[in-house]
Chains A and B, each alone.
Chain A
Amino acid sequence: MAEGKPPKVICVYNKKRIGYIGDRVLVAIKGQKKKGILVGLKQIQNVKVPKFDSNNVVLIDDNGTPLGTRIHVPIPTILRTILKERTHAKGADYTKLLSIATKFV
Chain B
Amino acid sequence: MNQAQVTKLVSKLRIKVAPEPRRLRNPKGPEGRLNKLRKTVTGLIKFERIELNFNRADEARQYAERLISEAIAHGDCHKPTMEIADYWLLEKELIHKLFKVLVPRYENCNTAFTKMYRAPRPLYSRNIEKAVLELRGNPYPSLINKQYSNRQLIQNVLLDAAKYDYRQAKYAEMADKIGKTENQQLNNLTKKDEITPENKEEQIPLST
Check whether chain A touches chain B (CB < 8 angstroms).
Answer: no
Residues of B in contact with A (beta carbons under 8 Å apart): none
